[in-house]
């Protein structure tokens, strides 16, 4: 099996706690447990870390591009304070059905590949908490890891519904993990990495 060289991370529900009312300011941004450690571990393994995130709140007028940029600047600064780095962040500010970048569209991933020409999608992993993340990754031929613990207290947004949606769509996952940290330890950096497991 080829070594993993790039990890594409969704943001809300993977790096930070998912909120049903959107993350519209830095005081609403809360890192999920051990997410910073997981990113640092990827850095130490010399695996590129790229964030690809749908930010529909911009299209809905709940968040400006400037505010989103500030949130990402703060996120990067806090990661840096723990020795962790994100190589690039791509976001889609559009509503559904009006662009090619909103996941499950793949334009954000292709932008990353244009910036980092050495990205090999067959050696890349998409880590996300939703069906749209998994659909995008499948279209690109990436390996797929679904995270089920998004940290959201609203049961309608819990990862279990995403697991059910992925099962219904018959998308084969390479791994199903509780958190980003578990995904890194159990699969991405595991010497005994398995090829395919169906979500529980």
10 is catalytic: yes
With contact defined as beta carbons under 8 Å apart, do 58 and 93 qualify? Answer: yes
Check residue 167 and give its pLDDT.
Answer: 85
Identify whether 144 is part of a domain. Answer: yes
Q: Please state, as a whole number, how many other Cβ atoms lie within 10 Å of the Cβ of residue 153.
A: 11
Check residue 34 and give its pLDDT.
Answer: 97
pLDDT at 200 over 80: no
Check residue 164 and give its pLDDT.
Answer: 85
CATH classification of the domain holding 45: 3.40.50.1000
Tell me which residue range forms the domain holding 142: 6-188
Q: How many domains does the chain have?
A: 1
* 101-153: pLDDT as tens digits: 999 999 999 999 999 999 999 999 999 999 999 999 999 999 999 999 898 76
Instruction: List the catalytic residue out of 12, 129, 133, 149.
Output: 12
The DSSP bridge partners found for residue 125 are 7, 143
Residues whose CB falls within 8 Å of the CB of residue 9, separated by 6 or more in sequence, listed in order: 15, 39, 49, 50, 51, 52, 127, 128, 180
163 pLDDT band, cuts 50/70/90, is confident
Average pLDDT over residues 164-173: 89
Identify whether 196 is part of a domain. Answer: no
d(CA 134, CA 173): 8
133 is catalytic: no
Check residue 152 and give its pLDDT.
Answer: 77
Identify whether 194 is part of a domain. Answer: no
Average pLDDT over residues 93-107: 95
pLDDT at 1 over 60: no
* 51-89: pLDDT as tens digits: 999 999 999 999 999 999 999 999 999 999 999 999 999
Q: Report how far apart the first and last C-alpha atoms of the chain are (Å, whole number).
A: 24
* 3-class secondary structure, 64: coil
d(CA 29, CA 31): 7
Instruction: List the catalytic residue out of 3, 10, 21, 182.
Output: 10
With contact defined as beta carbons under 8 Å apart, do 21 and 62 qualify? Answer: no
* 27-39: pLDDT as tens digits: 999 999 999 999 9
Check residue 182 and give its pLDDT.
Answer: 97
The structure's pTM equals 0.92
The DSSP bridge partners found for residue 54 are 92
């Amino acid at each position: 099996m080829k070594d993993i060289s790039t990890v594409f991370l969704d943001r809300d529900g993977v790096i930070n706690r998912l909120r049903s009312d959107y993350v519209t300011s830095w005081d609403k941004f809360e890192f999920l447990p051990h997410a910073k450690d997981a990113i640092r571990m990827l850095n130490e393994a010399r695996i590129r870390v790229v964030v690809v995130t749908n930010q529909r709140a911009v299209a809905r007028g709940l968040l400006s591009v400037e505010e989103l940029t500030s949130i990402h600047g703060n996120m990067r600064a806090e990661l840096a304070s723990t020795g962790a780095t994100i190589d690039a962040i791509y976001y889609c500010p559009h509503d559904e059905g009006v662009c090619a970048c909103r996941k499950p569209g793949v334009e954000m991933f292709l932008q990353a590949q244009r910036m980092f020409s050495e990205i090999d999608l067959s050696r890349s992993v998409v880590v996300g908490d939703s069906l749209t993340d998994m659909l995008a990754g499948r279209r690109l031929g990436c390996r797929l890891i679904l995270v089920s613990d998004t940290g959201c207290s609203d049961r309608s947004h819990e990862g279990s519904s995403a697991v059910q949606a992925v099962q219904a769509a018959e998308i084969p996952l390479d791994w199903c993990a509780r958190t980003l940290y578990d995904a890194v330890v159990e699969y991405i950096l595991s010497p005994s990495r398995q090829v395919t497991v169906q979500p529980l």
